[in-house]
Structure 1
């Protein structure tokens, strides 16, 4: 997919995926999840993949490209 994006002149940024599905996007606490449902002590609940997506959207870019 990266080559298709570059063909259109869109910059590609990379995000470190470490802990993206374990970190609460609301309070930033890290929780170990045993199944697909994520629940934080602050009350935030959703699917673990959605948590990762939310964290990746707001993560700093690691290679300097934005």
Structure 2
């Protein structure tokens, strides 16, 4: 366990939050609609079947859906505002 993950685990435990490591393989490359893989270009992930999402949000949703349902599946998205820090 790296120092960073150990510190995060410690801080979460203090607050009563459990930490689970997830495998992130292909989470940013796999489309939750058609299950095909392709690397995103730019900040947006676009599938030829019409699915569009911000690249970071897309990967996070795929990791969450895999943890909840066992597969990458389409999840409803609430309004997310992307802020770029200069």
Normalised to the residue count of structure 1, the TM-score between the two structures is 0.74
Asked if the contact 1:23/1:51 (under 8 Å) is kept, the reply is no
Larger helix percent: 2
Give SS of 1:22's match: coil
Q: Deviations over 1:15-62 (max 9, x none)?
A: 11111111112222211212211100221011111110110111238x
Hey, what does 1:46 align to over in structure 2? 53
Q: What 5-or-longer segments of structure 1 have no aligned partner? A: 62-66
Q: What 5-or-longer segments of structure 2 have no aligned partner? A: 1-7, 69-86
**Distance in 1 of aligned mates of 2:14 and 2:35:** 36
**Distance in 2 of aligned mates of 1:52 and 1:17:** 8
Q: How many residues align?
A: 61
Hey, what does 1:20 align to over in structure 2? 27
Q: RMSD of aligned C-alpha atoms?
A: 1.8
Hey, what does 1:64 align to over in structure 2? none
The answer to whether structure 1 residue 4 and structure 2 residue 7 are counterparts is no
Structure whose alpha-carbon radius of gyration is higher: 2
